A and B are shown apart, each in its own frame.
Chain A
Amino acid sequence: EPEVTQTPSHQVTQMGQEVILRCVPISNHLYFYWYRQILGQKVEFLVSFYNNEISEKSEIFDDQFSVERPDGSNFTLKIRSTKLEDSAMYFCASRDPRGAWGETQYFGPGTRLLVL
């Protein structure tokens, strides 16, 4: 069964450093998302992306964040200058709006980011 994959599974970085989190969505999906979950808290929406454009972003997704689909398969989240409070699990999700399961978002296993 196709699945969303994410790399790396864990990333440790120093405050102020740039990190890039990578995702490979399910191949025929059209909508892409990033969410994050700070330890012990709820999963929060960051951004949605379609047709090479950001569709919607939350108040968390400030100028330090950016997303890109550099080729036909990868979807990346970049944090330009990490802060301690960026430590969280970051989830990528994708969705194919066509067909019977069009409303379901499929999540990857997550990247656990620790900022020191």
Chain B
Amino acid sequence: SQQGEEDPQALSIQEGENATMNCSYKTSINNLQWYRQNSGRGLVHLILIRSNEREKHSGRLRVTLDTSKKSSSLLITASRAADTASYFCATVVDRGSTLGRLYFGRGTQLTVWP
């Protein structure tokens, strides 16, 4: 299947530390997006990186994309307890979908301890 797979499944860190989550996928993509989900709540869009981009920043977030390895990473710097959530990568397959359906991975559960 195309779905991204995140690694690790769970990550537990102290406030102030950096958190790195990885995502791998299988087929060529148009773009890759990262979402956050607080427990039992909706999906919040964090950042989008296109297939011709290698790195993007947004505040404390840094996303990289390596299309040769079909992988992406999300780095959250100086983490806070409020960053505790599940993080999902989602891909849009290149030429695979008219309206760009998203293929989600299983997510990484990040816990940040105060």
Please determine whether chains A and B interact with each other in the same assembly: yes
Give 1 or 0 for each of B81-114: 1 = CB within 8 Å of chain A CB: 0000000101010000111111111110000000
Cβ-defined contact, B101 with A56, below 8 A: yes
- Please measure, in the bound complex, the distance between the C-alpha atom of A41 and the C-alpha atom of B50, giving whole angstroms: 26
Cβ-defined contact, B42 with A109, below 8 A: yes
Cβ-defined contact, B106 with A41, below 8 A: yes
A interface residues, tally (CB under 8 Å): 26
Known: A56-B97, A103-B31, A103-B92. Contact between A91 and B105, CB under 8 A?
Answer: no
Chain A residues near B50: list those with CB within 8 A.
103
User: How far does the Cβ of A98 sit from chain B's closest Cβ, in whole Å?
Assistant: 13
Cβ-defined contact, A105 with B102, below 8 A: yes
Main secondary structure of the interface of A (DSSP, over half): strand
Most B C-beta atoms less than 10 A away, residue of A33, A42, A45, A104: A42
User: How far does the Cβ of A55 sit from chain B's closest Cβ, in whole Å?
Assistant: 5
Total residue contacts A-B, CB cutoff 8 A: 68
Cβ-defined contact, B41 with A110, below 8 A: yes
Cβ-defined contact, A48 with B48, below 8 A: no
A116 at the B interface (CB under 8 A): no
Cβ-defined contact, A107 with B42, below 8 A: yes
Chain A residues near B107: list those with CB within 8 A.
42
Residue of B nearest to A6 (CB): B42
In order of increasing CB-CB distance, the 7 nearest A-B pairs are: A109-B42, A43-B104, A107-B43, A48-B99, A45-B101, A55-B99, A31-B99
Q: Which residues of B contact A (CB under 8 A)?
A: 3, 30-31, 33, 35, 40-45, 48, 50, 88, 90, 92, 97-107
Could you list 26 A-B pairs, sorted by A, with CB under 8 Å?
A: A31-B99, A31-B100, A35-B102, A42-B104, A42-B106, A43-B43, A43-B102, A45-B101, A45-B103, A50-B98, A50-B99, A56-B97, A56-B99, A56-B101, A58-B101, A93-B43, A95-B100, A103-B33, A103-B50, A104-B33, A106-B45, A107-B44, A108-B42, A110-B41, A110-B42, A112-B40
Q: Which residues of A contact B (CB under 8 A)?
A: 31, 33, 35, 41-45, 48, 50, 55-56, 58, 89, 91, 93, 95, 103-110, 112
